[in-house]
């Protein structure tokens, strides 16, 4: 049986080589106030979370107790890190939180017209196209990881679809049919080995899986 924790160790080394840092959440006190954000992704509290060039994970014990979840989560965050780098954190996070990030403009109601308070409506679960694009590529990495593990499937799981349509990412894309189609398209690209150019760190993840499968 493949040593899942060693896959995590290998991917951690690849992440650090790419300039990313891995930090346990209990070492980041600022995460405490973030729980108040209604549209914050569930990964902020339940799993791994990316901010800038840092990937926060629950604890070393969590990684040892959940090795497959740990390395798959790390692989997905590595994909997202490419978008952060491409857009820079100053653009990426406002776009990731858009349109909910527009609610910040409501503070202008204190000094200007009360009509600015209407921007509070942005806090409702509106579709978030940029967030959907980012998370779609992260999910594509999870699909690819399962494929390289020998779990070949064309149709996305209900849990993966609900990642977009449910509360875990604040109902970022409620159009289930479109989500299923895009995830299915990624599955077909991966099965046909045409996804490497579109999926960052695919080579590193595939190598970590294959080398540990040989060394098991």
**Quick one: 60 and 110 in the same domain?**
no
**Quick one: 63 and 10 in the same domain?**
yes
**Quick one: 35 and 141 in the same domain?**
yes
**Quick one: 106 and 179 in the same domain?**
no
Domains of the chain: total = 2
- Rg, Å, the chain Cα set: 18
**Quick one: 165 and 195 in the same domain?**
yes
pLDDT at 6 over 60: yes
Tell me what pLDDT residue 154 has: 66
Model confidence pLDDT, tens digit, residues 11-59: 999 999 999 999 887 766 666 555 555 545 545 445 788 988 999 988 8
**Quick one: 107 and 132 in the same domain?**
no
**Quick one: 80 and 180 in the same domain?**
yes
Distance from C-alpha of 38 to C-alpha of 6, rounded to nearest angstrom: 35
**Quick one: 74 and 103 in the same domain?**
no
Range of the domain at 61: 4-96+127-215
Q: Model pTM? A: 0.88
**Quick one: 86 and 133 in the same domain?**
yes
**Quick one: 79 and 185 in the same domain?**
yes
Residue 111 binned pLDDT confidence (cut-offs 50, 70, 90): confident
Model confidence pLDDT, tens digit, residues 71-87: 999 999 999 999 999 99
């Amino acid at each position: 049986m493949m040593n899942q924790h060693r896959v995590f160790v290998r991917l951690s080394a690849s992440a650090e080589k790419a300039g990313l840092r891995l930090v346990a959440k209990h070492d980041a006190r600022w995460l405490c106030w973030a729980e108040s954000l209604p549209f914050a992704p569930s990964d902020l509290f339940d799993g791994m979370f990316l901010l800038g060039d840092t990937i926060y994970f629950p604890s070393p014990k969590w990684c040892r107790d959940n090795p497959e979840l740990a390395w798959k989560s790390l692989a997905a965050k590595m994909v997202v890190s490419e978008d952060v780098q491409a857009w820079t954190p100053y653009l990426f996070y406002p776009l990731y939180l858009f349109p909910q990030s527009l609610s910040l403009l409501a503070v202008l109601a204190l000094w200007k017209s009360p009509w600015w308070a209407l921007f509070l409506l942005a806090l409702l679960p509106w579709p978030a196209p940029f967030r959907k694009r980012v998370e779609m590529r992260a999910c594509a990495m999870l699909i690819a990881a399962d494929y390289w593990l020998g779990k070949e499937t064309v149709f996305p799981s209900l849990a993966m679809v609900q990642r977009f349509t449910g509360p875990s990412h604040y109902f970022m894309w409620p159009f289930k049919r479109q989500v299923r189609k895009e995830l299915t398209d990624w599955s077909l690209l991966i099965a046909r080995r045409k996804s490497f150019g579109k999926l960052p760190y695919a080579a590193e993840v595939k190598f970590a899986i294959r080398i540990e499968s040989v060394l098991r």
